[in-house]
Amino acid sequence: MELPRTPSFNVTGQRALVTGAGRGIGLAAAVALADAGAEVTLAARSREEIEAAAVEITGRGGRARALVLDVLDVTTAAAVIAASGPFDILVNNAGTNRPKPVTEVTVDDYDTVLDLNLKAAFFVAQAVARGLIAAGKPGSLIHMGSQMGHVGGVNRSLYCASKWALEGMSKAFALDLASHGIRSNTIAPTFIETPLTRPFFADAAFMASVLAKIKLGRLGTVEDLMGAIVFLASPASALMTGTSMVVDGGWTAD
């Protein structure tokens, strides 16, 4: 009897680009992929953070380098990615939020959230895809979405707009790039405790409202996402494209 062989979760020999890699989810993504064997490029504007992270990853036996990159400067970012690639794996993670009632949203709020969460994400992914196509290589594009890309949220009109758009973008990327062997998927977390989100949880009423919706009864941690990132980057997810892995503790189940 010939038994099936379990696909590998190892990404040794592959090169990964992680944006927003200085802290939080991006840093966790870089660590996870380095632990799985990838050579990781940590990209962010914060030179000190990504250089320190690259040193720590290297010190524990991984391969990592820092790349100072402002993804909001889409033209320059595309040129830098082209010169630094090709990258087999992208974790399209850089993002922001300005939660407020829809009646109070300003044009500056709109531009700040949509330019980073959607426009920059689009052109980073485009640059990585172009590099893979030119090199004749397959690859995996992983976009950091949100449960708010599947449902609505109070005071989250801009964030929901950007993350719902990211879901549609990823599906269209999947269709356009399938013939090149390039996959595109999202990860959709619930509220994850990070330096960006931690100040929100100081509001006891807000914290209670969040925990009431997360059926498993706790906030997410960056570690909760690391397995999903490695899975989508690896051969274990070889037939997955154009879909979303929802890591939300049951938020969207009802």
110: how many CB neighbours lie within 10 A of its CB?
15
Q: 16 near 40, Cβ under 8 Å?
A: yes
Q: Is 159 a catalytic residue?
A: yes
d(CA 71, CA 91): 13
d(CA 244, CA 252): 13
* Residue written as token pair 């100040």: 199
Whose CA is closest to 173, among 113, 134, 130, 234? 130
170: how many CB neighbours lie within 10 A of its CB?
25
Q: From the candidates 87, 123, 159, 191, which is the catalytic residue?
A: 159
What amino acid positions are annotated as catalytic residues?
159
